[in-house]
Amino acid sequence: MSLSVSLCVLNIFAEEKNGSREFLVSKNMDIYNSLFKELDMFYVDTINPEKTIKTGIDAMLNSLDPYTVYIPEEEMEDFKFMMSGEYAGVGAIIAKHKNAIIINEIYEGKPADKCGLKVGDKFIEVAGKKIGEDKSTSDVSNLLRGDANTVVEVVVERPGEKKPLKLKITREKIAINPIEYYDVLDNNIGFISVSNFTDKTASSFKEAFLDLKKKGITSLIIDLRSNPGGLLSEALQIVNYFVPKGSTLLTTRGKVKQWDETYKATSSPIDTEIPLAVIVNKGSASASEVVAGALQDLDRAVVIGERSYGKGLVQTTRNLPYGGGIKVTTSKYYTPSGRCVQAIDYSDRDENGYVKRIPDSLTTEFKTANGRIVRDGGGITPDSVVEIKDNYSELEKKLVSDNIIFDYAVNFRVKHKNIAPPKEFVFDDYDDFKKFVKDANFTYTRNTEKGVKALVDIAKKEGYYEIAKEEFDALEKKLEHDIDKDLDHFKRDVKWLVTAEILSKYYYKRGFLSEMVKEDVFVDVAKEILNNKEAYKKILSNP
C-alpha cells in the first residue's frame, strides 16, 4: 500500500473516530435511506411512502421545538393564509350545532354578509352537495372555499323563515382585519384590540390610532391578550409609531452569524408622548411579547395583566423540493434591555424527553432605559399584575356551552329587525330570556352539587353513609337548585353575556367586544392607571 493511500485510509478512520459532523450526517442519512428501502421491499404490508416519511419527519422535528415544522405542498396555502390573514372564500365561520352545520360568525362586508347570509343559518346544500348530519365543518368549509371571483350556491334554513333560501355567493380574497375593535372609552382613553400580526396589522393599527386621535384621545390602551404573534416586522412597526427614530427595538442572534440583526426604529414616530398601557395575558406570545417587551424596556408603556407566554424564538420559512417548506427556528430575539423572554429551553430535556419552564431562580436581571429591573426567561412580567380568577358561574358556562345564549340572540334578531347602536342599546327583556331558557328544558349541575355527590360516594365507600343518611338527604334537598332562582341570582352577569351576544348579531365582532370591554377587569386596571398621571409616571420611573 502506498503512503498516500495509507494516509487517506487513516484520515477516514480518524474522521469516523472523531465523529465529524460531515461524516455523522452522511452516515445517518445513508442509514435512513437504506432502512426505508428495506422496509419498502420486505415489510409484510405495503407501505405508504408519503405517510411513513412524514411520520419520520414529524418525529424528528418534534424532538427540537414545537415551532419547527414541515409544511407539505398541500398545506402551503393554509400556511400562507395564517401569515397573510388572506384566503379566497366567503368570509364566515361555521360550526356544528345540534347535528347541523350553521353559520356561527360573519365577517362584516365580506361575501357572506353582502349576499344576505345570517348567523344561525343552517346549511342544507352547498355547491350542489347535500349537507347532512354526516358532514363535518371541514367538509363544508372546503366546499365554501375556492378561487376568488367564482360563485358558490348555497341553500340554507333560516330561523323565522318558512322556506329554505337559495343564495349565490361570489367568493373573494378575504383579508381578516387584525384590529378586531377600537373605540374611545371613558375620559378620552383610546382602546385598540390587536388579534394577530399579519402583513396588514401595522397599517390597520395606524389607521385606527389616527382615527382615535382625531376623536380626541389623550391616552391609549393596546390590548394584546391571546394574540399568538405572527410577523415580526409588523410588531416592530407598531413600536416604531411610539418611540424616537433610531431607537433599538430588538436584536436577533442565531447559529448563522450573518443573519444576526439589530432592528431600530427606521421611520419618524406618530406620537412619543401619549401615555400607553399594554395589556397581555398568558396567551400573548411571540410578536405580542416583542411589542410589550420593547415598550416596557424603553419605559414607553405600562404593561398590565398576566405574565405572557414566553416565546423568544424566531422562525424562518425555507422552501423545500416539490412545493413544500419548513418553518425552522433560526434565532432568538432579545428586547432592548438585552433579555430573551423564552420560557422553555427545548435543548434541555429529562430522561423521558420532557421539557420544563426555566425557574425564576435561574433568570437574570436586566434594566430598562430608566433603570427599572426586568427579568429574562419567562415571558413578559407586567408592571401591574392582574390576578384574575374564573369568575363565571356554572350557570353562565353551561348557558354558553349549550348555545342557549347564542340561540336566544338568533331568535331575538328574528323578532327585532333593528336595534340601537352598541353604546345605546339596552337589553331589557330578561323575563323573555328566562322563558326561553326554561322552554329549552335547560339543566345544569352546580359545583356544590358535584361536591355533595362526591362526599356521598366517599361516605358510602368508607361505610359512614347510613349513619348520616338523613343529614346527607337534607343537605342534597337544601342544595337542589331552581333554574328560575339561579337566573335571578346571576341576572347581572347573564344579562351582560346576552347583551354582548345580541350585539354581535347586528354589529358583528365589534358589537360583541364593545359590550365585553365594559366589564373587563384588565381594562379597568389600565384605565385606573392612565387616569392617574402621577401613578403612571411613578411606575415608569426608577424606584
DSSP letters of 433-490?
A: HHHHHHHTT-----HHHHHHHHHHHHHHHHT-TTTTHHHHHHHHHHH---HHHHHHHT
In a shared domain, residues 379 and 398: no
C-alpha 121/C-alpha 102 separation (Å) is 5
C-alpha 36/C-alpha 430 separation (Å) is 66
Using the 3D structure, point to which of 112, 142, 175 is the last residue of a domain: 175
Picking from 249, 223, 174, 233, the residue whose alpha carbon sits closest to that of residue 201 is 233
C-alpha 499/C-alpha 513 separation (Å) is 11
Given a cut of 60, whether residue 5 has pLDDT beyond it is: no
Cell numbers placing 211: 382615527
| Cross-strand bridge partners of residue 105 | 93
Given a cut of 60, whether residue 17 has pLDDT beyond it is: no
Q: What is the pLDDT of residue 266?
A: 95
Given a cut of 90, whether residue 253 has pLDDT beyond it is: yes
Pairwise pLDDT comparison (11 vs 539), residue with the higher score: 539
Q: What is the pLDDT of residue 21?
A: 83
Q: What is the pLDDT of residue 463?
A: 78
- Burial status of residue 405 (CB atoms within 10 A of its CB: 0-12, 13-18, 19 or more): buried
Q: In this structure, what DSSP letter does residue 359 have?
A: P
Q: In this structure, what DSSP letter does residue 504 have?
A: H
Q: What is the pLDDT of residue 128?
A: 94
Q: What is the pLDDT of residues 334-353, one digit of tens each?
A: 999 999 999 998 888 777 77
Q: What is the pLDDT of residue 479?
A: 64
Q: What does the pLDDT average to over 199-224? A: 97
Location of C-alpha cell 402583513: 199
Given a cut of 90, whether residue 356 has pLDDT beyond it is: no
Contact, 243 vs 265, CB < 8 A?
yes
C-alpha 80/C-alpha 67 separation (Å) is 16
Q: Is residue 154 part of a domain?
A: yes
- In this prediction, residue 511 has a pLDDT band, given cuts at 50, 70 and 90, of very high
Pairwise pLDDT comparison (529 vs 1), residue with the higher score: 529
In a shared domain, residues 379 and 411: no
Cell numbers placing 470: 338523613
Given a cut of 90, whether residue 105 has pLDDT beyond it is: yes
Report the interhelical angle of 394-401 vs 404-415 (nearest 10°): 60
In a shared domain, residues 169 and 183: no
Q: Is residue 107 part of a domain?
A: yes
Contact, 137 vs 99, CB < 8 A?
no
Q: What is the pLDDT of residue 509?
A: 93
C-alpha 255/C-alpha 286 separation (Å) is 20
Residue 294, domain extent: 179-315+330-387
120-134, 467-481, 522-536: which range is least confident on average? Answer: 467-481
Instruction: Enumerate the active-site residues.
Output: 286, 297, 311
Pairing of strands 302-305, 276-280: parallel
Cell numbers placing 523: 381594562
C-alpha 101/C-alpha 123 separation (Å) is 6
- In this prediction, residue 175 has a pLDDT band, given cuts at 50, 70 and 90, of confident
Calculate the average pLDDT of the chain: 90
In a shared domain, residues 354 and 237: yes
C-alpha 389/C-alpha 383 separation (Å) is 19
In a shared domain, residues 119 and 262: no
Q: What does the pLDDT average to over 525-530? A: 97
Q: What is the pLDDT of residue 11?
A: 53
Maximal C-alpha separation, the chain: 101
Q: What is the pLDDT of residue 476?
A: 66
Q: What is the pLDDT of residue 9?
A: 46
Given a cut of 60, whether residue 1 has pLDDT beyond it is: no
Q: Is residue 459 part of a domain?
A: no
Q: Is residue 9 part of a domain?
A: no
Q: What is the pLDDT of residue 461?
A: 81
Using the 3D structure, point to which of 175, 193, 214 is the last residue of a domain: 175
Q: Computed from CA positions of residues 490, 496, 499, 501, in that sequence, does the dihedral angle turn out positive or negative?
A: negative
Q: What is the pLDDT of residue 543?
A: 66
- Burial status of residue 410 (CB atoms within 10 A of its CB: 0-12, 13-18, 19 or more): buried
Q: Is residue 7 part of a domain?
A: no
74-78, 148-152, 190-194, 483-487: which range is least confident on average? Answer: 74-78
Report the interhelical angle of 430-439 vs 491-516 (nearest 10°): 110
Q: What is the pLDDT of residue 186?
A: 93
Q: What is the pLDDT of residues 127-148, one digit of tens each?
A: 999 999 999 999 999 999 888 9
Q: Which residues contact 162 (CB under 8 A, 6 or more apart)?
A: none
The rounded percent of the chain whose pLDDT value lies above 70 is: 92
C-alpha 501/C-alpha 405 separation (Å) is 7
In a shared domain, residues 247 and 351: yes
In a shared domain, residues 207 and 300: yes
12-16, 315-319, 433-437: which range is least confident on average? Answer: 12-16
In a shared domain, residues 256 and 405: no
Q: What does the pLDDT average to over 464-475? A: 74
Q: Which residues contact 2 (CB under 8 A, 6 or more apart)?
A: none
Cell numbers placing 531: 387616569
In a shared domain, residues 337 and 211: yes
Q: What are phi and psi of 333, to 5 degrees?
A: -110, 150
Whole-structure pTM value: 0.85
Contact, 465 vs 456, CB < 8 A?
yes
Location of C-alpha cell 425557574: 359
Q: What is the CATH number of the domain that holds 278?
A: 3.90.226.10
Picking from 506, 346, 319, the residue whose alpha carbon sits closest to that of residue 420 is 506
Given a cut of 60, whether residue 13 has pLDDT beyond it is: no
C-alpha 301/C-alpha 274 separation (Å) is 9
In a shared domain, residues 300 and 255: yes
C-alpha 181/C-alpha 155 separation (Å) is 32
Q: Is residue 467 part of a domain?
A: no
- In this prediction, residue 176 has a pLDDT band, given cuts at 50, 70 and 90, of confident
C-alpha 451/C-alpha 465 separation (Å) is 15
In a shared domain, residues 352 and 379: yes
Dihedral angle computed from the Cα positions of residues 453, 459, 464 and 465, in that order, rounded to the nearest 10 degrees: 30
Pairwise pLDDT comparison (271 vs 444), residue with the higher score: 271
Q: Is residue 471 part of a domain?
A: no
In a shared domain, residues 186 and 166: no
Segment (H or E) for 499: helix 491-516
Segment (H or E) for 184: strand 179-184
Q: What is the pLDDT of residues 397-435, one digit of tens each?
A: 999 999 999 999 999 999 999 999 999 999 999 999 999
Location of C-alpha cell 401613578: 535
| Cross-strand bridge partners of residue 357 | 344
Q: What does the pLDDT average to over 317-321? A: 91
Q: What is the CATH number of the domain that holds 104?
A: 2.30.42.10
Buried b (16+ CB within 10 A) or exposed e, 266-297: eeebeeeebbbbbbbbeebbbbbbbbbbbbbb
- In this prediction, residue 470 has a pLDDT band, given cuts at 50, 70 and 90, of confident
Q: Is residue 303 part of a domain?
A: yes
Given a cut of 60, whether residue 368 has pLDDT beyond it is: yes
Q: What is the pLDDT of residue 449?
A: 66
How many domains are contained in the chain? 4
